[in-house]
A = this chain, B = another copy of it.
Amino acid sequence: MIIDPQSTLADIRMRVHGDLTHFLAAQTRYLGEIGTELIPAAEAMSSFLLDSGKRLRPLFAYAGYIASGGADDDAVVKAVASLELLQACALIHDDLMDGSDTRRGKPSMHRHFESVHHNEELSGSAQGYGESAAILLGDLALVWSDQMFHSSGISQSALLRSLTVHDEMRVELMAGQFLDIHEQALATQSVARSLKIARYKSGKYTIERPLHFGAAIASEDSHHRAIMTEIFSEFGLPLGEAFQLRDDLLGVFGDPATTGKPAGDDLREGKRTVLMAMTHDRANEHQEAVIATHFGDADLDMAGVEAIRTIIADTGAQAHVEALIEKLTMTALDALTRDEIDANAHALLSELATIAIRRSI
């Protein structure tokens, strides 16, 4: 029987949301018992996690679990839901490092606590308070993700099997983030370096590693687990890079209503993406001069955004990135033809691939 992948994913998304709601409510009570001053922190975290989110990482981990022979299980849904808390840490700290004012159409965490400082007429620097709160809430999200995973109720053997890949995933995430901030500080741009960052910061962390995590939870047989891990790398790495390239395009051409960020935000921020590295490689002298004027200008207006957009399109970088996304996605989908992937899992993984890379502009 082929199960409809869209309704399966919608069901898992709902259960992930329910698990996060339950976990955060319990943690809010716990923090409130330590001190009522902590309740605004807990509430800000709940709002951050529950108001929106595509739940991509939990969905990939769940699909990896099913594709590796796992049977539907509430405890596993809770374990994979914990990846949203890890992602919250990454986003909260990312917004702080990038100086982003908004996230999903609302104030970013440091800006939110800057407002709290103003509204409650606290003493000292509002900016410093906001930054400190964001650092600590990111840390807390990271610790909570561990706690939610460890207390999910999956079997002890599944927990022990999955700890290693869970740790590796997180080290790779931090390494990718570090490569990224270092790249932003270099004088030159390079397509090769940007692709490596995309691989570590997004490809492995968003897709390949969640799939491995699901396989480690599901599969007791180490030989079978090794095969699934290999297939998931063949599928997940190219798809992950395609996902990051789509993100590059959205950061420049995306509709604020969809991205939750101001139009052209990556341009204002001067974000060194694969897309921009390709644009540089193809730009003529005049185009380079326009980029040099506008790229990374925090006060860039829509005319400036449009000027760079035009260059990205005119140089052919945009079309090239679109073609690369297409090619990487084909490579990824090829891996799903392996015999070890059954028909239901194939449909689930294909549907997820579509969601990951077909996000509307």
Residues of A in contact with B (beta carbons under 8 Å apart): 27, 30-31, 34-35, 37-38, 41, 89, 93, 96-97, 99, 117, 122-124, 128-129, 131-133, 135-140, 142-144, 146-147, 150-151, 156, 159-160, 163-164, 167-168, 170-172, 174-175, 177-179, 181-182, 184-187, 196, 200, 270
Contacts and interface: CB of A to CB of B under 8 A. Distances in A.
A257 to B, nearest CB: 29
A150 B167 contact: yes
Given A35-B196, A122-B186, A147-B167, 17 more contacts: A37-B178, A38-B179, A41-B178, A97-B135, A97-B136, A99-B128, A117-B185, A123-B187, A129-B185, A136-B174, A139-B142, A140-B171, A140-B178, A142-B142, A142-B143, A144-B171, A156-B156
B136 A178 contact: yes
Given A179-B38, A186-B123, A93 B139 contact: yes
The 6 closest A-B pairs by CB, nearest first: A122-B185, A97-B132, A140-B174, A147-B167, A143-B170, A132-B181
B147 A171 contact: yes
B185 A35 contact: no
The listed residue with most B CB atoms (<10 A of its CB), out of A99, A132, A147, A177, is A132
The listed residue with most B CB atoms (<10 A of its CB), out of A136, A156, A186, is A136
A100 to B, nearest CB: 13
The listed residue with most B CB atoms (<10 A of its CB), out of A142, A170, A177, A185, is A185
A99 B172 CA distance: 28
A248 to B, nearest CB: 19
B37 A182 contact: yes
Given A139-B174, A140-B178, A146 B133 contact: no
B139 A138 contact: yes
Contacts of A156: 156, 160
Contacts of A143: 142, 167, 170-171, 174
A138 B124 CA distance: 24
A318 to B, nearest CB: 25
Given A35-B196, A123-B186, A140-B171, A164 B181 contact: no
Contacts of A137: 178
19 contacts: A30-B171, A37-B178, A89-B139, A93-B136, A122-B187, A123-B185, A124-B270, A129-B181, A133-B181, A140-B171, A140-B174, A140-B178, A143-B167, A143-B170, A144-B171, A147-B171, A150-B163, A156-B156, A159-B160
Nearest to A174: B140
Contacts of A31: 175
B139 A139 contact: yes
A184 B181 CA distance: 30
A299 to B, nearest CB: 16
The listed residue with most B CB atoms (<10 A of its CB), out of A35, A122, A124, A170, is A35
A165 B37 CA distance: 24
A352 to B, nearest CB: 26
A182 B270 CA distance: 33
